[in-house]
Every structure is written in structure tokens, then in C-alpha cells.
Amino acid sequence: MILADTSAWIEFDRATGSSVDLRITELISNSGSLVVTEPIIMEIIAEARSQQHESDLRRLLLRFDLLGFDAAIDFEGAARLYRKCRLSGITPRGMVDCMIASVASRYEASLLTSDADLIRIAKIAQIDIDDASIFK
């Protein structure tokens, strides 16, 4: 199962033609094992350019299986992961990436991303990174 993060969905929404954009397009077309989680949905919906765009994005994202964010588990997991990154000499730019990585780790999902920071976090957390990810 592949968890496409916010940066990957932005690549797709902008039709950039990047390897990440093409991978999401392929997964959607082939009913691939693409999954979402609430922090990603939140970030994508927040970036919508209009009410119609928000509705379209929401409808698209909700077609995929949801890896449920468990506040009791994933907030703590994100905090532990943030500390682990710091101890490894990497300071994540934001906690949302740590939350996404916590969910991916708990569900053993691969990450598809074009976010170099999330890739560094994923490597420390030993989360598989999809081959189409940029900065891998």
C-alpha cells in the first residue's frame, strides 16, 4: 500500500509530469493500492483554490482507503520520531510530516513524496519510499 503525501498530491493536482505525478496517475488508473490519511486530507483541502476545487479534491481523496489517524497513538509516535530525527542530526521542518510518517510506519505503508524533508524522516523511521519519489 502506498501513502501519497501532500507534496505528491500537489504534483498530481498541478499535472507537473514529474515521476510522482505519473505514479499517482498510474495508481488511480489501475485502482492501485493508494491510501490517504487525515493529516494529508487536511493539508490538501486547505490549499484548494476555490470551493469547487475543494469539493473535487475531497471527492477524489475519499475514493481511497483511509489509514485512520489515531490521536492517542500517532501524536505520541510523531513526537518520538521528531526526537529520533533530532538525535540523528536532522531537525524536521514541521510536525505534520512526522504525523504522516507515524501513520505510514504503523500501517507499514510505503511513502510517495516529492518532499526532501519527509524522505529524511522516512529513512530514519525505516519507512519504505516508493521508487517514483523525488529526492529518494
CB 18 within 8 Å of CB 11: yes
Looking at the DSSP bridge assignments, the partners of residue 34 are 2
Q: Is 128 annotated as a binding residue?
A: no
Is 13 annotated in a binding site? The answer is no
- Distance CA(55)–CA(85), nearest Å, equals 36
User: Count of alpha carbons within 13 Å of 49, Cβ hemisphere only?
Assistant: 4
Binding-site annotation: residue ranges for Mg(2+)? 5, 97
Residues forming the annotated binding site?
Answer: 5, 97
